[in-house]
Structure 1
Amino acid sequence: MMGYGYGDMGLMWLWMLGWSLLLIAGLVALVWVIVRLARGGGQSPASRSGSARSILDERYARGEIDDEEYRKRRETLG
């Protein structure tokens, strides 16, 4: 009666530890993916400048900025 009826409980603790670590790793990966998507999906600086260009074009089209301002900012963006 050394194990008090628990038998191979030591092996079961190993399985429980393994599944717990796997669950924690999955949650960490899920949080990492959510943070990456919230920050813009890891876009490169080149694609972000394209986005700035489209914003500039939209502002010009709405009449928020004049021709001179548009040209000046477009040169700055490259």
Structure 2
Amino acid sequence: MGSQFFVWSGMWIFPVIGIIVMLFVFYMVFSRGRFSGCSSSYDYNRNFKDDKNSESALDILNKRYVNSEISKEDFERMKKDIIS
């Protein structure tokens, strides 16, 4: 059972598979989730939204007034607070 057994029996594939698995693990650890198919502008802090997707406070206030959730007096007071 010399080196010929190692080469001809297919045992050489296990070190190659081990190296590939180690490289894959290192990639997954150090890429910090970019492998999961997310775009490059992925926000890692999920508490904040992108600027293009978030609404301003005035937009939200207008929607609440249109949906009759707040009265006209409340709307005017809150609008004044937001603008100032």
Q: Does 1:63 align with 2:77?
A: no
TM norm structure 1: 0.51
Identify the structure with bigger relative contact order (alpha carbons < 8 Å, sequence gap 6+): 1
* Structure 1 segments unaligned to the other structure (5+ residues): none
- Secondary structure of the residue aligned to 2:21 is helix
Across the aligned residues of Structure 1 and Structure 2, the Cα RMSD in angstroms comes to 3.9
Partner of 1:42: 49
Instruction: Check the 8 A contact 1:53/1:77 in 2, yes or no.
Output: yes
Q: Spell out, residue by residue over 1:17-75, the C-alpha distance to the aligned partner (whole angstroms, 9 max, x if none).
A: 213333x2468333987x849x477324xx7461x222211221233322221111012
* Pair 9,66 (structure 1): closer, same or farther in 2 beyond 3 Å: closer
Amino acid at match of 1:77: I
- Which has the larger helix fraction? 1
TM norm structure 2: 0.49
| C-alpha distance in structure 2 between counterparts of 1:19 and 1:59, whole Å | 50
- Secondary structure of the residue aligned to 1:76 is helix
1:7 shift after superposition: 4.6
Partner of 1:19: 24
Question: Percent of counterpart pairs with the same letter?
Answer: 13
| C-alpha distance in structure 1 between counterparts of 2:67 and 2:21, whole Å | 61
* Structure 2 segments unaligned to the other structure (5+ residues): none
